[in-house]
Structure 1
Amino acid sequence: MELAPEQEALRIAAVRRYDVLDTPPDGAFDRIAALAARLCDAPAATVAIVDTDRVWFKAAYGLTGVTQVGRDPGLCTSAILTDGPLVIPDTLQDPRARTHELVTGPPRARFYAAAPIVTRDGHHLGTVDVLDTVPRRITPEQAAALADLAALVMDALELRLSALRMLRVERELMVAEHAARERAERDRAEIAAYASTLQRTLLPPALPEVPGLEAACHYTTASVRDVGGDFYDVFPLSTGRWAFFLGDVSGRGAPAAALTSLIRYTLRTTALLEPDPCAVLRVLNSTLLSAHADGSRFCTLVFGTLAPDSAGGFAVTLAGGGHLPAYSLCPARRNGPDRAVARAEQVSLPGGMLVGALHQADFASRTVQLLPGEALFLYSDGIIEALTSRGARFGEAGLAAHLTHHAATNRALGASAIIDDLTGLLATFPTGPADDVALLALSASSTTPARAPSGASGTAHTSVPLTAKVWDPCAGPPDEGVRRSAGTKAPES
C-alpha cells in the first residue's frame, strides 16, 4: 500500500516545511532516541524522516555510522502508512521487511517497532522506532510510549519551526532596518550636501582685497544638515570705498536661506546707490516687509562702510539693526604722547531696531576711526551662547575679556590672528556652539594707499575641529575634513 501521488506530494511539502532534513545533530532528538531504546529495552532506536527517495535519521542510537537508508518498504516507509504503532516481531517472517537493507545487512534487525510522527494537519513525516537483533515483542505500554515519544518529536519540530520563523522574521527585520539605516544615511548625506551647497552660495567664497586692510572671517554652522541663519560680506562700492555687514536672520533651513539671499542682494545693490548706512537699512526694512507684511521674517545686522583716511587707517561708519555691538580693539601704545593700555571696547549703536519687523523702524549710525594697528570685530550670538568647559555660557563678559587679553598680548592687531585666536577658543568648548557662529574681523595696516581693489586677497576663512558641526565656506562640505588657511595682508605701497 502506498499514498496517492497527490497525498504524497502534500506529505513531502510538510517535510520541507519543517526544514529538518540534513540538519546537524540535535540533543533533544538524540535524547528521545535513547529514551525509546531504554523504554523498549532495545539496543538501537532512531528518529527517522521519510524523504522522497530516502529515510534520513535525525537521531540514531546504537547505529554506528548510519545516517540514512534507501526508501525501501517494510520498516519506516511502511510505518508512516499506519495510524498507530507498527510492530514486526520477526522481520524475516514479514514479506516486505525481510528484504530491507537494515535486515539483510548491519545491524541485521530481526525485530522492529515504530510510531509515526504526525503533523497537526495529519501528515506523517517519519517515525520513532526501535530495532533489535533477535525476534521479540513489546508490551502495549511500550507501544504507547513510542507513540508519546513520536508526539514529543512533533512538539520539538513545531518549536523548532517557530524559532526558525522568528529568526527569519528577525533577519528580515534586520535587513529592512539596515536598508532603512542606509537610506536614512544617504538622505542625511544628501541633506548635508544640499545644506552645504546652499550655505556656500550665501557666504562669500573669499573676501576682496582692500588696500591697507586685512580682513578675516569664520563660519561654523550648528548643524551640517541645515542651512544656518548667520551671514556676512565685504564688497567694493565706489573707488576707495567698501561696505561690509554681518547679521543673523530669524529661523533656519530653506526659509532662512531665501531670506538671507534677499538681504544680501538688497544690501549690495542699495549700498551702491545710498551712501548713508541708515538709509541702506531703511530700504532693507521696507523690502523685507514687502515680502512678509506680518513682520515674521526679520534679521539683525551691523552694516558699515569703509573709507581711507588721509592720516592713515579708515573712517568706519556703522549702522545697527538690533544686532550685537561691534568691538574696537586697540593694542597697548608704549611710546609717544598717545601712550595707552590695550583695550577692547564695544561700539554701541543705541536705538537700532530689528530689520523687517516694524514699518516705522528707526536705525542709528556712528563713525569711528580704524587706526593702523587697530581692529574692528563683528560677531553673531552663537559664540557668546556657547558653553565653556566649565558648563557656563561664554557670554559677553567672557568675549570682552578674551578680546582684551588678545589686544594686550599683541603689539599690532591683525584680523587673521584675531579669528585664529577665537576659532582656537571655540575648539576648547566641549559640545561646540549650539547656534551658528559668524565672525568678521577688519584690521588696518600701517599705510592705506587710496586705490581701487585689485581682486581677491588671501583672507582667512578658518574652521575649528568640532565634531560634525563645522562648515567652512572655503574648505567645502564637512566630510572633506577640517581645513585652515592663513590670512594674508593686502599689499602695501
Structure 2
Amino acid sequence: MMCTEGEAGRGSGAPKTADPAFSAMLEDSAEDLYENAPCGYVSTLMDGTIAKINTTLLNWLGRERADLVGRRHFGDLLTVGGRIYYDTHIAPMLAMHGQANGLALDLRCADGTTLPVLVSSVVRSGSDGTAQLIRTTIFDARERRAYERELLRARRAAEAERERAYKLAATLQRSLLPSELPVVPGMQVAAYYHPASLDEVGGDFYDLFPLGAGRWGFFLGDISGKGAAAAALTSLTRYTLRATAVHDPDPLAVLTHLNAVLYREFDSRTPRFCTVVYGTVRPDRGGATVGLAAGGHPPPVLIRATGATELIETPGGMLVGALSDAVFTGRELRLEPGDTLLLYTDGLTESRTRGRNRFSEEQLSALVASFGPVTAPELVTALTGMLTGFEGVDDDTALLALGVPAVGAREPGEPHCSRPDSE
C-alpha cells in the first residue's frame, strides 16, 4: 500500500511544515528569542545601571520595563543579603576574571516575594578593551531550591535517626558487658572492648565473676552476626554460662550445657552459634590454677614471667550451638608469679596492619613475646594502642587478661577495664 508524502510525514511525527502558523513559529527572530527566552536576561552598565532586560525576567519580577531601564541598578533587584553577596563576591570576581557562573541569589519581586535564581554574568568590552557592559543570564531556581531544602531535611532526619541508632546500640552494648571487672584477690585482671560499628550491636562478649570457695569463673566469646538478633543471643549465652557455672563450674560441663541451649534456639535460616573460651581460676599462695574449655575459639596466649609465650591449644573443640552432639576439649594449666593469660576474639587477629596484611595468631604470639614479662593491665594497654595504629579493624574486638603478680610486686588494686569506644 502506497501513502502520500504528507501522510508519511504525519505518521512519522514530522513537523507540519504546511501549517503557516507552525512555520511562522519556526522563523524565530533574534528579538523574540531574547524577549521570550526560557531564562531571564539583563544587561547593565559597569556601575550596575540596568540598560536592557527581557520580558521573561520582567514577568518573573512583576515589574515594568520603564521602571527599571536606566533608572534602577541590578542591586535594587536583590534581597539585602543578595546585594551584600553581590558586592563582596560577584563584583570582585567580575572585575578580576570577567565572568562569574552559577551563583545562587534571591531576587525581590514587586509583590514582596523572593525568587531564588542562579546567575551567570560576563563582562563585555569595547574595541579599545575597556569594560563597558555586564551581561547576565538568570535561571529560575525555585524547584532546585525546594529540592535542596528537601534533601537537607532528609539528611538531617537521617543524621538524627543515625544518632538515635548510636545511642540505642551503645546502651544495648553496655548491658551485654560487665560495667567493671571485680577485684580478684591475688591476681591482676584487665579487659577491653572495641565495637567495629557504632550503630550496630556487636557479638563479642566477656565476663569475670565469683563462684565461691575462692574460685572465679571467666569467659570470652564471639556470637555469629550483629544487631538485635546477635544481642539477644549474646544475652542468652552470658546468662546460660553464668547460671550453669554456679551449678557445675567444670568447664566441659558448662560448654556442653551451653551448646544444648543454643542448639534448641538454632534456626537454619538464621544460624545461631558462637565461639567461646570458658574457664575457672583459683588463686593460691604460689600462683593460680586455671581450667579451660574452648569451642571453636582462637587459642589463648600464655605469657610466662620469663617473657616466653605459648598458644594454649584445645584441639577438637567445635562451634557452640551448631551441632547437637558437639565435642569440646579442655585442659588445665598453672599460672606462676609473673605469668599472664590473654583471651581475645578474632577481631584482633583479623585486623589489617598498615601493609594491609592480616594480623595472625602467630604474629600476635611473637608480638606479645617482644613485650617481655608483662602484667595484665600493661598487656591490654599495649594491645589497645596497637589496634589504634592498624589500618582496618573490621570486626568487634574483645580482650580479657588474667595474671599473677610477680614476686615482690604490690598487691593489685582496681582492675583495668576499657569499655566500648562509643562511650
Structure-1-length-normalised TM-score: 0.59
1:206–1:457: 8 Å Cα contact kept in structure 2?
no
1:48–1:59: 8 Å Cα contact kept in structure 2?
no
Cα deviation per residue 1:260-317 (whole Å; 9 max; x = unaligned)? 000000000000011311011111011111122548200000000011235x111000
Counterpart pick for 1:60 among 53, 62, 69? 69
- Counterpart in the other structure of 2:149: 175
How is 1:222-237 mapped onto 2 (pairs within 5 angstroms)? Answer: 222-237=196-211
The CA deviation at 1:360 is: 0.6
**1:276 and 2:259 are equivalent in the alignment:** no
Work out which of the two has the higher radius of gyration on C-alpha atoms and give 1 or 2.
1
- Counterpart in the other structure of 1:418: 379
The CA deviation at 1:57 is: 2.4
Relative to structure 1, is the Cα distance of residues 168 and 269 closer, same or farther in structure 2, using a 3 angstrom cutoff? Answer: same
Counterpart pick for 2:283 among 305, 308, 331? 308
CA–CA distance in 2 between the matches of 1:258 and 1:351? Answer: 27
The CA deviation at 1:26 is: 4.2
Counterpart pick for 2:169 among 195, 209, 227? 195
Cα deviation per residue 1:373-409 (whole Å; 9 max; x = unaligned)? 1000000011111111122111122211111111x2x
- Counterpart in the other structure of 2:294: 320
Counterpart pick for 1:243 among 202, 211, 217? 217
CA–CA distance in 1 between the matches of 2:248 and 2:58? Answer: 97
- Counterpart in the other structure of 2:416: 460
**1:391 and 2:356 are equivalent in the alignment:** yes
**SS in structure 1 opposite 2:323?**
coil
Question: Percent of counterpart pairs with the same letter?
Answer: 42
- Counterpart in the other structure of 1:445: 405
**Residue segments in structure 1 that go unaligned for 5+ positions in a row:** 1-17, 36-46, 66-155, 333-341, 449-455, 464-470, 479-493
The CA deviation at 1:447 is: 7.3
Cα deviation per residue 1:43-91 (whole Å; 9 max; x = unaligned)? xxxx998x99x96625435x799xxxxxxxxxxxxxxxxxxxxxxxxxx
- Counterpart in the other structure of 1:254: 228
The CA deviation at 1:238 is: 1.5
- Counterpart in the other structure of 1:6: none
- Counterpart in the other structure of 1:110: none
Cα deviation per residue 1:303-336 (whole Å; 9 max; x = unaligned)? 00011235x111000001110111110132xxxx
Cα deviation per residue 1:170-222 (whole Å; 9 max; x = unaligned)? 11111111111111111111001100000000000101111011110000110
The CA deviation at 1:25 is: 6.5
**1:428 and 2:389 are equivalent in the alignment:** yes
Counterpart pick for 1:204 among 164, 171, 178? 178
The CA deviation at 1:438 is: 0.5
CA–CA distance in 2 between the matches of 1:430 and 1:255? Answer: 29
CA–CA distance in 1 between the matches of 2:288 and 2:174? Answer: 29
CA–CA distance in 2 between the matches of 1:236 and 1:300? Answer: 22
2:303–2:340: 8 Å Cα contact kept in structure 1?
yes
Q: In structure 2, give the amino acid aligned to 1:441.
A: A
**1:287 and 2:261 are equivalent in the alignment:** yes
**SS in structure 2 opposite 1:302?**
strand
CA–CA distance in 2 between the matches of 1:48 and 1:205? Answer: 69
Q: In structure 1, give the amino acid aligned to 2:261.
A: T
1:419–1:462: 8 Å Cα contact kept in structure 2?
no
CA–CA distance in 2 between the matches of 1:253 and 1:389? Answer: 29
1:192–1:225: 8 Å Cα contact kept in structure 2?
yes
CA–CA distance in 1 between the matches of 2:212 and 2:308? Answer: 32
Q: In structure 2, give the amino acid aligned to 1:60.
A: V
How many residues get paired?
314
Q: In structure 1, give the amino acid aligned to 2:171.
A: T
The CA deviation at 1:462 is: 3.0
Q: In structure 2, give the amino acid aligned to 1:57.
A: A
**SS in structure 2 opposite 1:248?**
strand
**1:401 and 2:366 are equivalent in the alignment:** yes
**SS in structure 2 opposite 1:349?**
coil
- Counterpart in the other structure of 1:351: 316
